Structure 1
Amino acid sequence: MTKYLISFPSGAMDVSAEELPAVSDAAHAVVAEAKDAGIWVFGGGIDESVPPVLVDGDGAVTEGTYPETKQLEGGYTILELPSREAALEWAAKIAVACRCAQEVRAFMYDPAS
């Protein structure tokens, strides 16, 4: 089975403060469904109040990200699924819950792990 990253940037979730509790409940329901199905690996949101840093091989720490990389933000879910089609189906469930489109990416298989 392949692990899939399903994600969205925080700016994509454009909901009012009044809608936020319903969105949270819907998102938690999808998480519970994924856990019950045995496909849940990990999920959560990036803490945008903590700035990213780069750590070099010598331990040197530099504020920020790679210059060519946009800052990572938003919500992320990793599911282990039998097919891309299944990943797209779960992304649609998350999109409904979070009220925004989801990006889907497959992790490469590493036979050594």
Structure 2
Amino acid sequence: MTKYLISFPSGEMQFRPEEFQTVVDESHAVIQEAKDAGVYVFGGGIDESVPPVRVAADGTVTEGTYPQTRQIEGGYTVLELPSREEAERWAAKIAAACRCPQELRQFGYDPMS
């Protein structure tokens, strides 16, 4: 089975403030459905209040991040699924719950993971 990353940037969620609890409930329901189906690996949101750092091989810590990744934020879900079609189906469920399109990426196979 292949692991898939389903994600979205925070600013893409489109809903009225009074819908917030509904969005939370629907999002949690999809994640629970994935857990019940045995395909859930990991999920969560980036804590945007904590700035990123880069850590070098010698342990040196530098504030900030790579320029091409400075906008990483939002929500992430990793599912392990038998096909890309199944991943697209789950991404559509998450998109409906979160009120925004989801980006779908496939992890490469690593026998040590």
Preserved CA contact (<8 Å) 1:65 1:71: no
Q: How does 1:26-41 map to 2 (within 5 A)?
A: 26-41=26-41
2:92: which partner in 1?
92
* C-alpha separation in 2, matches of 1:88 and 1:16: 26
Q: CA deviation at 1:111?
A: 1.9
TM-score normalised per structure 1: 0.96
Instruction: Decide which moves more: 7-16 or 98-107.
Output: 7-16
- Aligned length in residues: 113
Q: CA deviation at 1:46?
A: 0.4
* C-alpha separation in 1, matches of 2:76 and 2:63: 23
Consecutive unaligned residues in structure 1, runs of 5 or more: none
Consecutive unaligned residues in structure 2, runs of 5 or more: none
Moved over 6 A (4+): none
Higher-helix-fraction structure: 2
The amino acid that maps onto 2:74 is G
TM-score normalised per structure 2: 0.96
